[in-house]
């Protein structure tokens, strides 16, 4: 038709980073239950070793081919030592997030783990505020209040935070930090190389812990879970997420990644997990807090 702008790569490109982030969240959310079942046989850090070891084996050849350098604007000033330090820091943060999440997933339900992990969307802007030393905006303060109330109801309207949920909450903080740091690093380094390097660091950090605490029982179910999450979630989805973070600011990226607990919650409901009326109300309030937290970013991103 006349007057219609043809859909080319240039016109569709603004949507591609967001679609990459959504694809990553689907991979993450769909595997919560798979990981939880595997943790019945293998230790939390043992699973980290297996999962990220498989992911590193698959991704490293592509990383060597693509090289570590990122956008052309950073190529003149950065050296390999900067990349190595970035990978080390990024890997330590990721290790903290996945260790706490796996430890928590052993002690709580898939649905609880998913929704509490989703609180990274509140932690991300708070970390950004702390780094930039700006005063918290009203929408962030309201979002934090919503998150605390939602978590209170998700816990059964008690002041006692169950150990599994407390560990998961700590993991959510690390994931918020992971998103913020990843958004910065991907501006300077290749996302595939950054992902592969991070996976290697995760494996190296897991080895001494496994040597002390043990690996657990490596069953066929564990190997399948490690292969699926290592390849689909780590090698592929991590790379997609980091590439998307190059074009989408941390706060907006965090709300897109919030689709992860939605997917995991659906999977949890499908396998028979129920939160109860109060629990579902708490989950809805947490989700409302997420929307409030990101409303400012949406308004800023809206074309004028």
Please spell the DSSP secondary structure of 54-72, one letter per residue.
HHHHHHHHHHHHH-SB-SG
Neighbours of 231 (CB within 10 A): 18
pLDDT at 114: 73
pLDDT at 164: 86
Mean pLDDT by 10 residues, the chain (304 residues): 38 67 84 85 92 94 81 62 89 92 83 77 82 75 76 65 86 92 87 92 94 91 93 90 83 73 68 70 76 60 48
Q: How far apart are CA 269 and CA 156, in angstroms?
A: 18
pTM of the model: 0.77
Residue 223 parent element (H or E): helix 220-228
Residue extents of the structural domains in the chain: 13-301
Please state the φ and ψ torsions of residue 155, each to the nearest 5 degrees: -85, 5
Q: How far apart are CA 257 and CA 250, in angstroms?
A: 10
- What lies within 8 Å, CB to CB, of 130 at 6+ separation is none
| Cβ–Cβ < 8 Å for 207, 31 | no
pLDDT at 90: 92
DSSP 8-state secondary structure symbol assigned to residue 291: H
Q: How far apart are CA 67 and CA 24, in angstroms?
A: 22
């Amino acid at each position: 038709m006349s007057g219609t702008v043809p859909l080319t790569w240039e016109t569709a490109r603004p949507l591609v980073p967001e679609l990459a982030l959504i694809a990553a969240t689907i991979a993450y959310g769909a595997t919560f239950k798979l990981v939880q079942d595997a943790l019945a046989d293998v230790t939390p850090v043992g699973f980290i070793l297996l999962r990220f070891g498989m992911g590193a084996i698959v991704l490293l050849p592509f990383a060597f081919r693509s090289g570590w350098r990122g956008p052309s604007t950073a190529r003149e000033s950065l050296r390999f030592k900067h990349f190595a330090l970035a990978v080390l820091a990024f890997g330590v943060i990721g290790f903290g997030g996945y260790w706490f999440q796996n430890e928590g997933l052993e002690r709580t339900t898939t649905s609880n783990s998913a929704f509490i992990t989703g609180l990274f969307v509140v932690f991300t802007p708070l970390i950004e505020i702390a780094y930039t030393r700006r005063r918290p905006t009203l929408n962030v303060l309201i979002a934090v209040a919503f998150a605390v109330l939602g978590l209170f109801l998700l816990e059964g309207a008690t002041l006692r935070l169950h150990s599994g949920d407390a560990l998961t909450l700590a993991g959510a903080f690390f994931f918020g930090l992971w998103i913020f740091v990843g958004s910065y690093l991907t501006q300077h380094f290749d996302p595939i190389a950054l992902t592969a390097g991070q996976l290697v660091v995760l494996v190296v950090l897991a080895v001494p812990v496994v040597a002390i605490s043990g690996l657990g029982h490596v069953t066929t179910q564990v190997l399948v879970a490690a292969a699926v999450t290592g390849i689909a979630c780590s090698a592929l989805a991590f790379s997609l997420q980091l590439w998307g973070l190059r074009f989408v600011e941390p706060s907006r990226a965090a709300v897109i990644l919030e689709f992860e607990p939605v997917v995991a919650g659906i999977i949890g409901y499908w396998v028979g997990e129920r939160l109860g009326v109060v629990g579902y109300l708490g989950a809805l309030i947490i989700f409302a807090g997420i929307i409030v937290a990101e409303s400012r970013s949406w308004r800023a991103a809206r074309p004028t």
